[in-house]
Structures are given as structure tokens and as C-alpha cells.
Amino acid sequence: MKKNPLLLLVVALFSNATAQALPLNVDTRIEAVMPKVVEWRRDFHQHPELSNQEFRTAKIIADHLRALGMEVETEVAHTGVVGTLRGGNGPVVALRADMDGLPVTELVDLPFASKAKGVYQGKEVGVMHACGHDNHVAILMGVAEVLAGLGDELPGTVKFIFQPAEEGTPDGSVGGAELMLMEGAFTNPKPDVVFGLHVFPFPVGTVATRPEGLMASSDRYQITINGKQTHGAVPWAGVDPIVTASQVVLGLQTIISRQLDATLTPSIVTVGRIEGGVRNNIIPESVELEGTIRTFDAATRTDIHKRIRRTATSIAEAAGATADVVIDRGYGVTRNDPDLLRQMSSTLETVAGDGFIEATQTTTAEDFSYFANEVPGLFLFLGVASDDPTLVHPNHSPRFYADERALPVGVKALTSLTLDYMLAK
């Protein structure tokens, strides 16, 4: 893949600002820790844990950080771990990795494939690191060992944030990054910046990012259409919520396709669930719709919320029904601070070479956004796609496969970002 000209220009403009000589042969230290990183990653992959159940993972992390001499807090936001590595009087850098797996049964033929089981919403399910968080944890543990090994040569302080429940809490309660912040993860001391990454099916070793919005906000909506139950043979005696709900589904699609300016910003309204009725000859009393909203700016987000309410209530009223609309605001836009990206672009160029590219916006969402709303943040995509196309599958697939050749790139990226940021101050 060729580098984007925009990023080439950025690198040229800022190469002198951040291209610092890393202390104490960091490359050698990274090379030395990689066998452990691979071992950790395979262990976590074989033993994934669901959101807020990352007990084994958290213990391994906490034991490792303590062995490195860090101040360690556990049970932050239930199972989160925060390690603080204090060095010189320079900046405070936060590094974040998420820990949770998904309720997915693995179909990848690996000697360390997951056979784990868990309970999700009352049902026994397979558990898999289908979004690659095993890689994130192993990478950050490796970074911790490299930076701790610098001793007095570390120019500033690093906060290692190992976060639970990025995939969301099963009951919809506050969790993950938001709860970690509420419980003080960014205090004593408060970071100046935060860096993070996520594996993605780009060519292995690629590092991709962009200024401003990288990943979308994510909101959940639920619409209940209330009609009047009656016999299926006499529909005129009631109000059919199934027909009305069907019209609402179609009406919601026109918000994006016919009401919003398609040239301005990507937006999505998806209906993911429709449920109502108990048997073939009864028109039910109500029908529920549920879906997701994805946007990249606050004004569009608010506008779509209003249009969903208006569409559902108007269609229901026209049919003689009513509509109850509940919209739960979820993760915000994952936004990269443009000044921070400009400052650190030469570092990423050094790490990835021609594999440093400008990412397109993605309508998936990430609660790293909470951290990046507190302090300037920079979030990266790390390419883990195999050269074998039969092994390339999207995140959340039971066949998702991460090529381990990307692991040293991830360790070097976070290590170099941390040290170059500190040395530039």
C-alpha cells in the first residue's frame, strides 16, 4: 500500500520536531521482549473472557506490572488494571489496551484456538478474542517491560490503562472507559496525552490513522409501536402494530437516503431487531424495533435523533397507533487530535515506513473516545491481515485471524510514541 501524500507532507514538516534518538537501545529491548509478547498473546487468545469477567487476564497483567516495580491499581471499573511507571519530570503519557473477548465460537484452526465457554445474557456461549484484544494486551505488556527497563532514563511518567468491557456491558450499564474515568484512572497524575491502537484487517504491519474523526459515535434506539390487539381475521377491529412497524422501518431508511446531505458526513441508521406477536392469527398489541445510529459530528447526531423520533411518531399517528422512542447515547466519535497527529507523524513514519497510511473513516465505534475527550488522543489501526487471503476476515468474525508479525510493530509504535512525545517536550 502506498502512503497518502497528506501524511508524506505531514512527516516532512514535522520530522525535525519529534525524530529523537531513543535511549538505551530501545530496538534491542523490543526484540528481546517479543518472545514473551507472542507467548502472552497466545495465552490470552486461548483463554478469552467476556466483558467485566476478565479476572484471569487482569491478574496476569497486574502480576506483570508489579514485577516491573510499578504502582498498580486493580478492580478499576470492576476488572480494570492501572499501572503507573514514574520516571523523570517530563510529560505524563497514558497508553490503553482493552481486554475483553466476545460471545463468539472460534472457527480458526490454531493450536491455541479458544475452547472457552461463558455465560452471556443467561445463555452458555463460546468465547473468542474475535476483535483481537488479546493482541492489544500482549503488546501493552511488552511496552511496559521495555519502558520499565529504562529505569532513570525514562523522561516522564507512563500510565498503563488495561480496560475491561470495551465491547459493552451485557446489561447496558455504565462500564469500560467511561467507568474507569469515573473511578479515577486519569488522576494522580493526570495524563497530558493518550495513545492507543486496534488491530484491523489491513496488510500486516500497516499503521493507519487520520486527523479528527476516525471512528463513529454509536447510539442505540428502541421504538415500541403500540396498536390494538385483535383477531387476525378482523384487522379492522384493532390497530395493526406490525404493519405500522414495517412502515417505520422503511421510513427510517429515508432519513439517510433522502433527508440528509450525503456529501457532508457519513451517517447510518440500522434496524437490527424487530419483534412482535405470538401466533399466526392474532394481531398483537405492540411491536418492538431496535437498532443503531452511527455519526461523525455532534450536530448530525442530534439531528438524526430528532428525525427518528419524528418519523416513528408521525407514522404511528397516521395509523392510529402510538410510538414510544428511547435513544441511549453510547460511545462518542473517536477523534484524533490533529496537532498531536502532526507532532507524532515522523515517529509513525519511522516505525512503519511506507506502511504508515491515512485511514478512511470507519462507522464502527470505540470507547477510547472517552479517554480522548479528556486529553489529546491519538488512536491507530494496526494491520494484522495475513498474506493468505483465505485467512483474512473482519473483526468479530469467528474466523478472525491476526498475523503475529504485526506484534513487534505495535510494541514499537506505542513505545516510540511515548518516548518521542516525552523527548520533544
Question: Among all residues, which ones are annotated catalytic?
Answer: 331, 404
Q: What is the DSSP annotation of 87-141?
A: -SSS-EEEEEEE---BS-------TT----EEEETTEEEE-B-TT-HHHHHHHHH
Beta-sheet pairing, 334-336 with 212-215: antiparallel
DSSP of 231-296: ETT-GGGSB-HHHHHHHHHHHHHHIIIIIS-TTT---EEEEEEEE--SSTTEE-SEEEEEEEEEES
Q: Which three cell numbers stand for residue 307?
A: 428525525
Which among 362, 408, 372, 411 is positioned nearest to 208, based on CA atoms?
Answer: 362
C-alpha to C-alpha distance for 385 and 391, rounded to whole angstroms? 8
Helix (H, G, I), strand (E, B) or coil at 380: strand
Q: What angle do CA 54, 413, 418 make, to 5 degrees?
A: 85
Cell of 401: 485471524
- Residue 340 and residue 93 in contact, taking contact as beta carbons nearer than 8 Å: no
Q: Pairing relation of β-strands 217-226 and 322-329?
A: antiparallel
Rounded Cα gap, residues 412 and 352, in angstroms? 9
In whole angstroms, what is the distance from residue 205 CA to residue 129 CA?
19
Task: Quickly list H helices, 162-219.
Answer: 176-182
* Cis-peptide, bond into residue 103, ω within 30° of zero: no
Burial of 184 (0-12, 13-18, 19+ CB in 10 A): exposed
Handedness of CA 110, 116, 119, 123 (dihedral sign): positive
Question: In the beta sheet, which residues pair with residue 95?
Answer: 160, 195
- The x, y and z cell numbers of residue 121, run together, are 445474557
DSSP bridge partners of 328: 220
